[in-house]
């Protein structure tokens, strides 16, 4: 596997508390330091780049408890970030569900949930199968080798979410670039805000166009619907769903493919029994947990958490990768087992902010992995494993490129 490296983090951290441990010994495993903290200090002090101190939680039980506790706010505008000095501005808030609390969050979540039910997402399966097959046909026609990221893992979820929202797919180069800038750990705060502002402006223009001529995409449906959504909220909803809808699934597809290729016994089990596809997807979600720095919450009042006193206003970072490898909850947590029974992993979060698009992601992954390994016999890496460039430098983990070959 490629050598593990530490992602760059701004150095302005206070003395007296460690910064978030980021070094990976193996690119497919979380940093070992997270496991040591989970065992020895499940809630530990943490230094933030903005100069504040807060807390890092690493146990599954604690992470799920905080995610379900309304004493801890999801408002990231008031939270410190583990990787940046500044992350969100107040003007980013409208429509951004992941940084909203009730009752505003409840109003928008209730409005959007009916469009992301399991039944609705399963109904998209034939169209997703068609998109996957079209990209496999193009790969076969071009022949090996190929980079799966631009040829398969990125365009499939991008096209699906564009069709679902009613966003022109021909604009993908622009929003892919904005997303890459916003999620990079090597860009400046100014570059991040410029990318977000550009995407916000794009979505506002799209909302204006759909108010004049609404289509059957989700944004058009919401505009025609009986609701009190403002243009700013519609733009924020569109921005969140567009980025989350392609970045997370694209990286799960590429990193999941790499994981299968590095675990041939698990790939053989997956190929031998298509009936375990759903279990395999859940196991990859647990094992990889691509939100590599976790999620944040802010204490709304003083509270005791695992024997430590958290003060009002302090930020807690909930390490989803550490929680999903917790041996107190998962048997053999560091082993990939695609036959593992369903478990309460937190790859999609937990509580009222659990990922709205999780059912869509599951359908896309199940179809894409199944079709990929059926459609490209003998799929293998086209470069040595240690030459696959990993996304250590991004908030969402994965690979930058995935060169592969197969039998023609």
Concatenate the DSSP letters of all residues of 376-394 into one string.
Answer: STT-EESS-GGGSPB-TTB
Residue 261 is assigned to a structural domain of this protein: yes
Residue 175 is assigned to a structural domain of this protein: yes
Q: What is the pLDDT of residues 173-213, one digit of tens each?
A: 999 999 999 999 999 989 999 999 999 999 999 999 999 99
> Would you say residue 11 has pLDDT above 50?
no
> Would you say residue 1 has pLDDT above 50?
no
Return the DSSP state at 305: E
Q: DSSP letter string over 209-256? A: HHHHS--SSHHHHHHHSSS---HHHHHHHHHHHHHHHHHHHHHHHHHH
The Cβ of residue 379 has, within 10 Å, a number of other Cβ atoms equal to 20
248-252 mean pLDDT: 97
> Domain of 365: which CATH number?
1.10.630.10
Residue 54 is assigned to a structural domain of this protein: yes
Asked if 81 contacts 296 with a C-beta cutoff of 8 angstroms, the reply is yes
Residue 243 is assigned to a structural domain of this protein: yes
Query: Is 44 or 14 the better-scoring residue by pLDDT?
Result: 44
Per the structure, the complete domain to which residue 111 belongs is given by 32-407
Asked if 135 contacts 155 with a C-beta cutoff of 8 angstroms, the reply is yes
E strands, 48-86, where? 53-57, 72-73
Percent of the chain with pLDDT over 70: 95
The number of domains in the chain is 1
The vertex-328 CA angle with 322 and 332, nearest 5°, equals 80
Of the listed ranges 12-26, 80-94, 321-335, 363-377, the one predicted with least confidence: 12-26
Q: CA-to-CA distance for 337 and 125, rounded, in angstroms?
A: 25
pTM: 0.93
Return the DSSP state at 94: T
Residue 102 is assigned to a structural domain of this protein: yes
Q: What is the pLDDT of residues 277-336, one digit of tens each?
A: 999 999 999 999 999 999 999 999 999 998 899 999 999 999 999 999 999 999 999 999
Residue 201 is assigned to a structural domain of this protein: yes
Q: CA-to-CA distance for 312 and 12, rounded, in angstroms?
A: 23
Asked if 392 contacts 180 with a C-beta cutoff of 8 angstroms, the reply is no
Q: What is the dihedral of CA 117, 157, 323, 315, to 10 degrees?
A: -90
The Cβ of residue 89 has, within 10 Å, a number of other Cβ atoms equal to 11
| End-to-end alpha carbon distance in the chain | 26
Which three-class secondary structure state does DSSP give residue 404? Answer: strand
Residue 17 is assigned to a structural domain of this protein: no
Residue 231 is assigned to a structural domain of this protein: yes
């Amino acid at each position: 596997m490629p050598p593990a490296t530490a992602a760059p983090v701004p150095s302005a951290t206070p003395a007296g508390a460690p910064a978030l441990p980021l070094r990976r010994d193996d690119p497919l495993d979380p940093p070992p330091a997270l496991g040591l903290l989970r065992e020895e200090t499940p809630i530990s002090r943490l230094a933030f780049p903005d100069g504040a101190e807060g807390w890092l939680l690493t146990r599954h039980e604690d992470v799920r408890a905080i995610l379900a506790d309304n004493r801890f706010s999801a408002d990231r505008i008031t939270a410190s970030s583990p990787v940046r000095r500044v992350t969100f501005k107040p003007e980013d808030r409208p429509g951004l569900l992941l940084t909203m609390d009730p009752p505003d969050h409840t109003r928008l979540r209730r409005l959007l949930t009916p469009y992301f039910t399991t039944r609705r997402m399963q109904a998209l399966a034939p169209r997703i199968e068609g998109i996957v097959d079209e990209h496999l046909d193009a790969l076969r026609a071009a022949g090996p080798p190929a980079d799966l990221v631009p040829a398969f893992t990125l365009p499939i979820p991008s096209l699906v979410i564009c069709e679902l929202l009613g966003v022109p797919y021909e604009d993908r180069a622009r929003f892919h670039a904005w997303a890459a800038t916003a999620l990079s750990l090597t860009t400046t705060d100014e570059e991040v805000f410029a990318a977000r502002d550009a995407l916000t402006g794009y979505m506002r223009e799209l909302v204006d166009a759909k108010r004049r001529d609404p289509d059957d995409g989700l944004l058009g449906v919401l505009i025609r619907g009986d609701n009190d959504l403002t243009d700013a909220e519609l733009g924020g909803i569109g921005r969140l769903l567009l980025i989350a809808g392609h970045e997370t699934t694209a990286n799960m597809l590429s990193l999941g493919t790499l994981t299968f290729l590095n675990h041939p016994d698990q790939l053989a089990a997956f190929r031998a029994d298509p009936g375990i596809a759903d279990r395999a997807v859940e196991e990859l979600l647990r094992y990889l947990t691509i939100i590599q720095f976790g999620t944040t919450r802010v204490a709304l009042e003083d509270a005791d958490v695992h024997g430590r006193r958290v003060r009002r206003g302090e930020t807690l970072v909930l390490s989803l990768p550490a929680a999903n490898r917790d041996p107190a909850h998962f048997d053999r947590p560091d082993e990939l087992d695609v036959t593992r029974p369903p478990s309460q992993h937190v790859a999609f979060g937990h509580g009222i902010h659990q990922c709205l698009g999780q059912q869509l992601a599951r359908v896309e992954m199940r179809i894409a992995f199944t079709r990929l390994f059926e459609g490209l016999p003998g799929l293998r890496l086209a470069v040595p494993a240690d030459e696959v460039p990993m996304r250590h430098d991004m908030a969402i983990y994965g690979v930058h490129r995935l060169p592969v070959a197969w039998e023609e």
